[in-house]
Amino acid sequence: MKIGFLIIDMQAIHLQGIEKKVINRACEYINHVSDMLRSKRHVIIHIQDNEGILESNKDLYRTIPDVQMKDTDLVVTKEYSNAFWKTELDQILADQGIEFLIISGNAAEQCVVFTYNGAVERGFKPVILQNGVLSTHSDAITSMYRDRNVISYPAIQYFI
């Protein structure tokens, strides 16, 4: 089984209002899982929301340096909350033979949950990375963990 790992909106412009130590903790989990998956040649995809990008603020739209990006990783840009909506994500996953998705990133109440739901609607099997999701609303993360399928990094290690 080939796995796709989506890292959503880990950009400075979208992380404003979240404590640095909380971001660092999520990045630790995201980077650990990325390394595990890369070592087995699974697909890492960084989703970047570019809505509102201008020449004057483009640096704020880059993935933060705390998230390790490798040359083998893919990048998909979007302008809507659902990373599947009007992007090439669905086709990329199909071309790679991916059915199982691990989803992480920001924000639990918006882009993460909408992308999760978009994955379900398209026939993928998504899960949320435990401790790999951010939000300025802690109750949104609690709700996501309660209402969606969640996976821990030891379980991912077992699968791969």
* One-character DSSP codes across 68-91: ---TT-EEEEESSSSTTTTSSHHH
Spans of all domains in the chain: 2-159
Q: Residues of the chain whose pLDDT is less than 50?
A: none
pLDDT at site 55: 84
pLDDT digits (tens, 9 = 90+) for 26-36: 999 999 999 99
Q: What is the pLDDT of residue 60?
A: 83
Q: Which CATH number fits domain 2-159: 3.90.1150.10, 3.90.226.10, 3.40.50.850, 1.10.287.370?
A: 3.40.50.850
What pLDDT was estimated at residue 43?
Answer: 98
pTM of the model: 0.96
Return phi, psi of residue 121, to 5°.
-60, -25
